[in-house]
Amino acid sequence: MLLIPAIDIIDGKCVKKFEGLFETTEYYSESPINTVRLLRKENFKTIHITDLDGAVRGDMRNYEVIKQITKCVDIPIQLGGGIRDFDTAKKVITELGVYRIVLGTAAISNPDLVKEIIKEFGSSKIIIGIDEKDNKVMMDGWVNSYPCTILDFAFMMKDFGVKRIIYQDISRVGSLNGPNLERLKEIGDKVKIKLTSAGGIRDYRDLKSLQGLEVFGVDSVVVSRALYENKFPCQNIWREAERQDTSLELPSVC
């Protein structure tokens, strides 16, 4: 089970959101770059970044910050938020060197874009984000819904050549109430596609539960609040090591 830390960016800052509501946004860090450097030091293998301003407004608003992030780390980055056309997708893949992009709203409003990206860059460069609320596919930064069931949308994306979906129940985002295991199981069982879980992770017990869904294609999980709030036992070791050994600090490369 690959554990992927998430960095959500609003106004150039690292934030957390609860249940998809912007009025409940709280700031974790003034510097996403410092956060990325810390996560890299803790040996994570990839990082998930969302430009939340871009997700709502339809174009990337934190491009320069994300550009600096990509220069700071030597691990793959997957990026979503505000990628609504082919030129933007090409730019973040070729200029930023982003490993793969996450499409949500664009996959709904412009499904031909999904086919175009796969044709140009291959299926490994794209993930489709399915954000659910009351069995509806949410779009525009979770503001509006698309009249399509979760399964129908997943089947449609698979037919386009998509190989992976990142799924989250937005009512659980930032809640520490656990992921929607039943929905993940349903998607994996019926659609037969690789799945990344996101939203709701509270501690290592949820990771164990997700590990039990590997037979349904769940092989990775995006974690945000639980990591930032040190909900895992190993993080106590990291924090103590940081206090005792300054040699653990990464060189300043940003």
| Residues marked as catalytic | 8, 131
C-alpha torsion angle, residues 78, 9, 38, 222 (rounded to 10): -50
Q: How many CB atoms lie within 10 A of CB 240?
A: 10
Q: What tokens appear for 195 in the block?
A: 């799945």
What's at 232, amino acid-wise? F
> What is the Cα gyration radius of the chain?
17
Q: What's the distance, Cα to Cα, between the start and end of the chain in Å?
A: 30
Helix, strand or coil, per DSSP, at residue 113: helix
Distance of alpha carbon 15 from alpha carbon 43, whole angstroms: 21
